[in-house]
Amino acid sequence: MSIQVSVVVPVYNEELAIGEVIDSIGKTLAKAGVEHEIIVVDDGSTDSTSSILKKYAGKIELISHPDNIGYGRSIKDGIMKARYPYVCMIDGDASYPVNRMPDLLSYLGTYDMVVGARTGENYKGSLIKYPARILFLWLSEFASGRRIPDVNSGFRVFRKDAVKRHFNTLCAGFSFTTTITLAMSLGGYFIKYVPIEYHRRKGQSKIRYIRDTMRSLQIIVETILYYNPIKIFILLAGILWFIALLGLMAYKIAGVEWAMALAISAFLTSFIVFGLGLTTDLLRKVNMKEEGR
C-alpha cells in the first residue's frame, strides 16, 4: 500500500492498553507495507502510562501535556505534528480493532475521510446511553441531509489538509469526533463508513455521562449553527407548528378556551423563528464570501 499515514493516539491514564495498541499498530501497518509514523499524545496521565511510553522512545513521536486539557486538543496537537498527508486517529484503550486499519486506509484517495462505524454489543451500551445516541444521530443526519451511522467514532482516517481547514470549529474535548463528522459532512466532503467490531475498553472510562452528554448536545447545536443554521431554525419552527396544531385540536375537540390563544401564538412565533433562520443563513453566506470560502 503506497499511502503514507501518521497515526495519532491520544491517551490519558491508559496503562492497561497503550503498549498493546502501539505494538499492534506497528505490526499491522508494517505487514500491510504502509509507510507510517506513530504519534502518541499523553494528555497529563497520572498513572504509569508515561513510564510505559518512555520504553517506546525511537519508535514513536511523543507529545506530553503537563496537564489534562482535553481529548480534542490532544488530537489537534498530533495532527499538527504529523508529517504525512493522511492521518489516522485511534484511541489508546484497545476498544478499536487495529487490524482493520488497512481496510480504512484502502478507501483514501477516493474519500476524504473514512470512519470505522462501531457495531456489536459493546457499542450499543446501556439503555441510559441509547436515547442520547439516537438523538445525536438524528440531529446530525437532519442537519447534514446525509446518513451518518456513527457520529462520534474515535477510529477514522482523513486528509490532514481537509481537517485543518476546520480547526477553529473543532471541539477541544470529547466532542472532537462529533464536530469533525459534522464539519466534514456539512462541508460537502466525501465520507465512507466502514462497519467495525467495537471491543470493551481496557481500563476505566473517562466520560461522565450526564455532563458530557449535555456538552455534546451543546457542541452539536453550535456546529450546526455555524455550518447550516437554517436547519436549527426549521426544527424550532416545526416544533412550534406542532404545538399550534395540538392547541387547535384541543380547542376544536375538547373546547379548551386557552388552547386557541396558544395555537395562534405558537403559529405566529414560528414565522418569526423561521425569518430569523433565513437572516442567520444569509449572514453566514455573506461571511463565507468575505472570507473567500
Residue 31 has phi, psi (to 5 degrees) of -65, -35
Q: State yes or no: pLDDT of 230 exceeds 80.
A: yes
CATH superfamily of 4-227: Spore Coat Polysaccharide Biosynthesis Protein SpsA; Chain A (3.90.550.10)
Q: State yes or no: pLDDT of 218 exceeds 90.
A: no
Instruction: Using the structure block, give the residue that is written with the C-alpha cell 519508535.
Output: 59
User: What is the structure's pLDDT at 292?
Assistant: 54
User: What is the structure's pLDDT at 263?
Assistant: 93
The grid coordinates listed for 273 are 423563528
Report the candidate in 260, 236, 238, 257 with the shortest Cα–Cα distance to residue 247.
Answer: 260
Instruction: Using the structure block, give the residue that is written with the C-alpha cell 470549529.
Output: 169
| 15-24, 95-104, 175-184, 278-287: least confidently modelled range | 278-287
Distance CA 104, CA 88 (A): 9
Each domain of the chain, given as residue ranges in start order, spans 4-227, 229-291
Distance CA 285, CA 282 (A): 5
User: What is the structure's pLDDT at 138?
Assistant: 85
The grid coordinates listed for 93 are 484503550
* pLDDT tens per residue, range 51-109: 999 999 989 999 999 999 999 999 999 999 999 999 999 999 999 999 999 999 999 99
Res. 290 pLDDT band, cuts 50 70 90: low
Distance CA 183, CA 148 (A): 13
Residues 6+ apart with CB under 8 A from 148: 137, 140, 141, 181, 185, 193
Buried b (16+ CB within 10 A) or exposed e, 131-153: ebbeebbebbeebbeeebebbbb
Query: What number is the average pLDDT over the span 186-205?
Result: 89
Res. 291 pLDDT band, cuts 50 70 90: low
